[in-house]
Amino acid sequence: MENVLIIRYGEIMLKGDNKSFFEAKLTKHIRGAVKDLGDVKVYKMHSRVYIDVEDFNADEIIERVKKVFGVVCISPAVRFPVDFDVIKETALNQIKEEMAQRGVKTFKVESKRVDKKFPLKSPEMSREIGGYILENTEGLEVDVHNPEVRVYVEVRECSFVFTKKVYGFGGLPLGTNGKALLLLSGGIDSPVAGWLVAKRGVEIHGMHFHSYPFTSERAKEKVVDLAKILTTYCGRIKLYSVNLLAIQKEINEKCPEEEMTILSRRFMMKIAERVANKIGCDALVTGESIGQVASQTVKGLHVTNAAVELPVFRPLIAMDKVDIMDLARKIDTYETSILPFEDCCTVFLPKRPVTQPRLEKILRSEALLDVEGLIESAIGDMEVERISLDDE
């Protein structure tokens, strides 16, 4: 009898002739997630991934694997040759463990006969196993609608018995859908936006804008901390840090005060696009949401969008703030995001920022600036940092 983790994936099953490519990517990422835990055997078989585990390291492996995009759920199970007497006894032992640990009083057996040569059909298996459990326990009842515990039995090339399903985030394996550059601020929204795009298989890198020394070193460190949290889902990230202060000073000196935010935003997009093209990213990602701040009105987004030609992914565009915050808590970025350090958007903040900008007017203001020179200078002073969990 062996302890294994059964790892299931969902959307990958729909990939037709490309399925093996997605499976290989997923298996590779799962191996990468557990590689520092010793000699952990990860292998694919019959449209599932399995990991052989010892009791002492199963919980740690599950915690890591459930963060791998593409994983739908994980079950710690026991595997053994097909023998119905052993199946019944194993199911009984697992339900006794649940009774001892959680005091459960109701259960249900769910059987699956994948090997059609096995003489009992799935409903017959469930009835016989359930009857055997009832005969050998006290104070336990069957509840087919809302049981406290489900005992899962599968008969395939061998038998599997388990009682738990730990759910992952689903999605598609990282690196199966190109690469994008995330505009990563220190706020709540942008880490969530990057996480959502990465969940669809897009490899992401980050670009952070700051206004040092008007903004603090601690504000920059906070963004690095957020990037580190994202690496637990997204693997290594290159973080490009750009000082926007010279550009902001130029705008403040030569352009209408109310246009500071929208003009700064257009510069960020232009700089991000320039860098994205250099490093092979095919899109930009932002944490913008309609109406959340002055620059995120529909007209504001149109003017911002007009600064670049690359596609701009805004996965939060129609989400309410409370929903974004809930997701930030779920992926563990929230507590870092709310740390009270200022970002570049607070520098030269206009008293009455324009909320309904007209593109032609913004372009006239932009013409007052040495746009190309300012962009080249900012990129020339850009810092690049490789963010990895290995840096801990």
CB burial string 267-298: b at 16+ within 10 A, e below: bbbbbbbebbeeeebebbbbbbbeebebbbbe
Q: Does 392 have pLDDT greater than 60?
A: no
Is residue 184 a known part of a binding site?
A: yes
pLDDT of residue 129: 97
Question: Looking at 64-68, 70-74, 262-266, 345-349, which range is the least confident one?
Answer: 345-349
DSSP per position, 56-107: GGHHHHHHHHTTSTTEEEEEEEEEE---HHHHHHHHHHHHHHHHHHH---EE
Question: Is 18:89 a contact under the CB 8 Å cutoff?
Answer: no
Give me the chain's average pLDDT, please. Answer: 93
Is residue 183 a known part of a binding site?
A: yes
Residue 203 vs residues 46, 198, 223, 355: alpha-carbon distances, Å? 27, 6, 18, 33
pTM: 0.91
Is residue 169 a known part of a binding site?
A: no
Is residue 48 a known part of a binding site?
A: no
Q: Rounded to 5 degrees, what angle do the CA atoms 287, 292, 293 make?
A: 95
Question: Looking at 17-26, 65-74, 215-224, 377-386, which range is the least confident one?
Answer: 215-224
pLDDT of residue 57: 81
Of residues 210, 188, 375, the one with CA closest to residue 293: 188
Tell me the average pLDDT across 148-152: 96
Q: What is the pLDDT of residues 315-352, one digit of tens each?
A: 999 999 999 999 999 999 999 999 877 776 677 777 78
pLDDT of residue 344: 67
Of residues 98, 181, 84, the one with CA closest to residue 127: 84
Where does the pLDDT of residue 366 fall: very low under 50, low under 70, confident under 90, or very high at 90 and above?
A: very high
Question: What phi-psi label fits residue 46: left (phi over 0), alpha (psi between -120 and 50 degrees) or beta?
Answer: left
Is residue 210 a known part of a binding site?
A: no
Residue with tokens 């799962």: 30
Q: Does 299 have pLDDT greater than 60?
A: yes
Q: What is the pLDDT of residues 265-274, one digit of tens each?
A: 999 999 999 9
Q: What is the pLDDT of residues 151-201, one digit of tens each?
A: 999 999 999 999 999 999 999 999 999 999 999 998 999 999 999 999 999
pLDDT of residue 56: 64
Is residue 205 a known part of a binding site?
A: no
Q: What is the pLDDT of residues 50-61, one digit of tens each?
A: 999 886 688 999
All structural domains of the chain, each given as residue ranges with its CATH number in brackets, are 2-167 (3.30.2130.30), 179-387 (3.40.50.620)
Is residue 265 a known part of a binding site?
A: yes
The two three-digit tokens of residue 130, written as one number: 């359930």
Between 16 and 347, name the one with better pLDDT: 16
